[in-house]
Amino acid sequence: MTASHILRKPLFGGPFGSGRFELATQAIVSGGLHAVRFMVIEPSAGRVVSIAESKSDVLATARRVLRTRDDAGELPLWYQPRLWSDAELAAVPPPATPAGPRVSRRRRHVHERSGGRCHYCGSDLKLESSSWHVEHQMPRALGGSDGMPNLVAACATCNLRKGDRTAIEFVWAVGQSRRRWGHRR
């Protein structure tokens, strides 16, 4: 990651003084998800004071490090008040995690439009399940769009059997095979 991908802004007050230290943010991938890494840096000395994945943690750690260094006489003390106390930063609740798997808005909308059933065979489809597909009635390979009017919910079996045929071709083919084998509706 180059320095151009790191966003920085100066920190003022308390142990941070008058802009000598900066809060830097860097985009990362953590556990397969996009996240932000926070750092308190001292650009003039080329030092990283603290690193964490939350702003409150990085600021609290940097304050402790800088106070420890101040007590040892390594850095001058600043007499400006802190912006937030460590207790205030620790009181920030962690973000709420969703109860179940996340379902995209488009997938949810297609499921609702199809009434929770496969468009072709009518079998029940659970919204959170990965056993159904968002299916193109007119395949993209044949010029179909990704617009909502062209999308339906289909069970994996029907979608894979349909392949790159249009919905009309697929329904006709299923009807022909049922007649051939003596199935009637």
Tell me: the pLDDT tens digits for 81-121? 455 556 665 666 666 666 667 888 999 999 999 999 999 89
Which has the closest alpha carbon to 26: 11, 45, 40, 39?
Answer: 39
Dump pLDDT digits (tens) for 58-89.
999 888 888 876 555 554 444 344 555 566 65
What average pLDDT does the segment 148-170 reach?
Answer: 90
pLDDT at position 47, please? 82
What is the fold of 105-180?
Answer: DNA Binding (I), subunit A (1.10.30)
CA distance 175 to 166: 14
What average pLDDT does the segment 28-55 reach?
Answer: 84
Q: Which carries the bigger pLDDT value, residue 54 or residue 101?
A: 54
Q: Where are the domains of the chain?
A: 3-90, 105-180
Q: Does the pLDDT value for residue 33 go beyond 70? A: yes
Task: Give the predicted TM-score (pTM) of the model.
Answer: 0.44
CA distance 15 to 63: 6
